[in-house]
Amino acid sequence: PPFNNPAIRRALMGAIDQQAFMTAVAGDDAEFQHTPIGYFCPNTPMASDVGLDVFKGPRDFDKVKRDLAAAGYNGEKVVVLIPADSLAQKPLGDVAFGTLQQAGMNVEYVGIDFGSVLTRRNRKTPVEEGGWSVFVANWQGMDWLNPAAHLTLRGNASYPGWSESPRTEELRDKWLQAATVQEQQAICAEIQRISFEEVPYYPLGQYKQPTAYRKAITGIGRGTATFWNVRPA
């Protein structure tokens, strides 16, 4: 609680300012961030604009507070786990904490090391017994390419948060059996529509991490760093 209530999860969607999250972690240079995004990596075949209107325009926290109250939020404590030693996840967590505060939720900031976050987020106990409510995570674009590899979009309660969605799981199976890219894209658009309805998690945006290499080496590929094909220039 309170995020076992899907109506509360939906109500809070109106508080999410993706650009604020991305600016916190990547700075204000538009070249290094992309918003709005949905539940698949932007500018890849399975991404779509379905549901993205919720992230457009200014955030109305008075409305969010009313929506949360209507959804049944009654001041329950919300514990936010923030990895204080992570250069990316700490600023994301700080924005998440501030967002929940602005939304009028009863929030507790728990700043701990990343390893402790990984341990504590596996607990299913109530917050009063050392449990948690929210944590932030960052993923590479390849992790969000499609339903086959999208760990956080599974509906089988396999990832911390333990989201369950029979509809998403059924569509994932259909995606794996689809004969054409067009069929797969239509399935992913429906998965995204369902995800904005059920809110297994909040997509916060995409940021790019610039990397510099010495002129003395060549053969470096684009994307994730690898340790092959590199040679002296």
Per-residue confidence (pLDDT) for residue 221, from 0 to 100: 86
57: in domain: yes
Distance of CA 100 to the CA centre of its chain: 15
Question: Is residue 135 pLDDT above 80, yes or no?
Answer: yes
| Cα first-last separation, the chain | 57
Structural domain count of the chain: 1
Distance, CA of 216 to CA of 54 (rounded, Å): 47
Cα-based angle 7, 192, 64 (whole degrees, multiple of 5): 30
Per-residue confidence (pLDDT) for residue 227, from 0 to 100: 82
63: in domain: yes
1: in domain: no
Question: Is residue 34 pLDDT above 90, yes or no?
Answer: yes
Question: Is residue 7 pLDDT above 90, yes or no?
Answer: yes
Cα-based angle 8, 11, 128 (whole degrees, multiple of 5): 35
26: in domain: yes
* Lowest-pLDDT choice from 54-58, 129-133, 217-221: 217-221
Element (H, E) at 33: strand 33-34
From 133, 126, 85, 129, select the one nearest 109 (Cα to Cα). Answer: 133
From 113, 87, 109, 83, select the one nearest 97 (Cα to Cα). Answer: 109
**CB burial readout 183-205, b (16+ within 10 A) else e:** ebbbbbbbbbbbbbebbbbbbbb
Determine the average pLDDT of the residues in 42-69.
Answer: 97
pTM, entire model = 0.92
Categorize the per-residue pLDDT at 12 as very low, low, confident or very high, splitting at 50, 70 and 90.
very high
Question: Is residue 181 pLDDT above 80, yes or no?
Answer: yes
In Å, the largest CA–CA distance within the chain is 63
* CATH number of the domain within which 152 lies: 3.10.105.10
Question: Is residue 231 pLDDT above 80, yes or no?
Answer: yes
* Lowest-pLDDT choice from 18-27, 82-91, 116-125, 217-226: 217-226
Question: Is residue 223 pLDDT above 80, yes or no?
Answer: no
Distance, CA of 14 to CA of 59 (rounded, Å): 6
Categorize the per-residue pLDDT at 96 as very low, low, confident or very high, splitting at 50, 70 and 90.
very high
Domain of residue 154, residue span: 6-232
Question: Is residue 127 pLDDT above 80, yes or no?
Answer: yes
Categorize the per-residue pLDDT at 210 as very low, low, confident or very high, splitting at 50, 70 and 90.
confident
Question: Is residue 29 pLDDT above 80, yes or no?
Answer: yes
Per-residue confidence (pLDDT) for residue 209, from 0 to 100: 86
Question: Is residue 222 pLDDT above 90, yes or no?
Answer: no
Distance, CA of 208 to CA of 34 (rounded, Å): 8
Q: Are 183 and 169 in contact (CB under 8 A)?
A: no
61: in domain: yes
The sign of the torsion formed by the CA atoms of 101, 197, 151, 161 equals: positive
Using alpha carbons, list the distances in angstroms from residue 88 to 21, 136, 184. 10, 10, 32
Determine the average pLDDT of the residues in 204-211.
Answer: 92
Question: Is residue 224 pLDDT above 80, yes or no?
Answer: no
